Amino acid sequence: MNYVKITADQCKSCGVCVQTCPNHCLAIGSELNALGYQSAVFIGEDRCVACGLCFYVCPEPGAITVFKNEQPRKETETEKGVSL
């Protein structure tokens, strides 16, 4: 499957990716990130075509990663920013 990973703490909630996605796969979420922004969320599990448009329009270089024909994997504790 195709999917998009949003790194929430990099997102500034500008909404450009939400407006750009042709398949309505992204939305602004309700939770606040570490910077106090409501980060974008991926809601297009069955619709994303991995076109990359959201990645190219996002002004934050680390906020969006597009995966094509891959299975989503669980984040490790380190990736979540949790120190053990």
The dihedral region occupied by 37, where left means phi > 0, alpha psi between -120 and 50, and beta the remainder, is beta
Site for ligand SF4 in 19-78 (CB under 6 A): 21, 23, 25-26, 40, 44, 48-54, 58, 60, 63-64, 66
Q: Of 35 and 77, which has the nearer Cβ to ligand SF4? A: 35
Q: Which residues make Cβ contacts (< 8 Å) with residue 31, sequence separation at least 6?
A: 8, 38, 39
- CA angle 80–82–84, rounded 5-degree value: 140
Q: Of 22 and 79, which has the nearer Cβ to ligand SF4? A: 22
Q: Of 65 and 79, which has the nearer Cβ to ligand SF4? A: 65
Interface with ligand SF4 (CB under 6 A): 4, 6, 11-17, 21, 23, 25-26, 40, 44, 48-54, 58, 60, 63-64, 66
